[in-house]
Structure 1
Amino acid sequence: MSKPLILVTNDDGIVSNGIRVLAEVMSEIGEVIVVAPDSPQSGMGHAITIGEPLRLIPSDLFDDLGIKAFKCSGTPADCVKLAKHHVLKEKNPDLVVSGINHGSNLAVSVLYSGTMSAAIEGAIEGYPSIGYSLADFSHDADFSHTRDYVKKIAQEVLSKGLAKGVALNVNFPPKQNQRIQGIKICRQAKAHWEEEFDHRKDPYGRPYFWLAGNFVNNDKGEDTDVWAVDHNYVAVVPCQYDMTAHHSIAQINDDWDI
Structure 2
Amino acid sequence: MKKRPLILVTNDDGITAPGLRTLISIMKKIGDVVVVAPDKPQSAMGHAITVNSTLYCTPYKNGQEHDEYSCSGTPADCVKLAVREILPRVPDICVSGINHGSNSSINVIYSGTMSAAVEAGIEGIPAIGFSLCDYSWDANFEPIRNFVETITREALENGIPKGVVLNVNFPKLPENEIKGIKVCRQAKANWVEEFDKRTNPMGKDYYWLTGKFVNLDKGEDTDEWALEHGYVSVVPVQFDLTAHHSIQDLNTWNLND
TM-score normalised by the shorter chain: which range applies? over 0.9
Task: Tell me, yes or no, if the aligned pair for 2:50 and 2:73 is still in contact at 8 Å.
Answer: yes
Q: What pairs with 1:172-187 in structure 2 (closer than 5 Å)?
A: 172-176=170-174, 179-187=177-185
- State whether structure 2 residue 98 is matched by structure 1 residue 104: no
Structure 1 residue 257: Cα displacement = 4.5
Quick one: which of 141, 154, 157 aligns to 1:156?
A: 154
- State whether structure 2 residue 72 is matched by structure 1 residue 73: yes
Q: What pairs with 1:57-136 in structure 2 (closer than 5 Å)?
A: 57-61=58-62, 63-64=63-64, 66-89=65-88, 91-136=89-134
The CA deviation string for residues 64-120 of structure 1, in whole angstroms up to 9 with x for no partner, is 3x111000000000000000011014x010000000000000111101000000000
- Structure 1 unmatched ranges of 5 or more: none
Task: Tell me, yes or no, if the aligned pair for 2:227 and 2:233 is still in contact at 8 Å.
Answer: yes
Aligned equivalents of 1:183 and 1:202: distance in 2?
48
Q: Residue 34 of structure 2 aligns with which residue?
A: 33
Aligned partner of 1:118: which letter?
A
Aligned equivalents of 2:51 and 2:109: distance in 1?
20
Q: Residue 16 of structure 1 aligns with which residue?
A: 17
Aligned equivalents of 1:184 and 1:201: distance in 2?
47
- State whether structure 2 residue 51 is matched by structure 1 residue 53: no
Aligned equivalents of 1:80 and 1:257: distance in 2?
40
Task: Tell me, yes or no, if the aligned pair for 2:75 and 2:116 is still in contact at 8 Å.
Answer: yes
How many matched pairs?
255
Structure 1 residue 254: Cα displacement = 1.6
Aligned equivalents of 2:180 and 2:83: distance in 1?
34
Aligned equivalents of 2:134 and 2:246: distance in 1?
37
Aligned equivalents of 2:131 and 2:182: distance in 1?
15
Q: Which stretch shifts more, 174-183 or 9-18?
A: 174-183
Of all paired residues, the percent bearing the same amino acid is 57
Task: Tell me, yes or no, if the aligned pair for 1:143 and 1:175 is still in contact at 8 Å.
Answer: no
Task: Tell me, yes or no, if the aligned pair for 1:142 and 1:175 is still in contact at 8 Å.
Answer: no
Q: Residue 167 of structure 2 aligns with which residue?
A: 169
Structure 1 residue 205: Cα displacement = 2.4
Q: Residue 240 of structure 1 aligns with which residue?
A: 238
- State whether structure 2 residue 212 is matched by structure 1 residue 214: yes
Aligned partner of 2:75: which letter?
P
Aligned equivalents of 1:71 and 1:223: distance in 2?
38
- Structure 2 unmatched ranges of 5 or more: none
Task: Tell me, yes or no, if the aligned pair for 1:130 and 1:170 is still in contact at 8 Å.
Answer: yes
Aligned equivalents of 2:251 and 2:57: distance in 1?
48
Task: Tell me the TM-score normalised to structure 1 length.
Answer: 0.96
Gap change, CA 1:253 and 1:126, over 3 Å in 2: same
Task: Tell me the TM-score normalised to structure 2 length.
Answer: 0.97
Aligned residue for 2:15, secondary structure, equals coil
Gap change, CA 1:55 and 1:130, over 3 Å in 2: same
Aligned partner of 1:154: which letter?
T
Q: Which stretch shifts more, 247-256 or 229-238?
A: 247-256
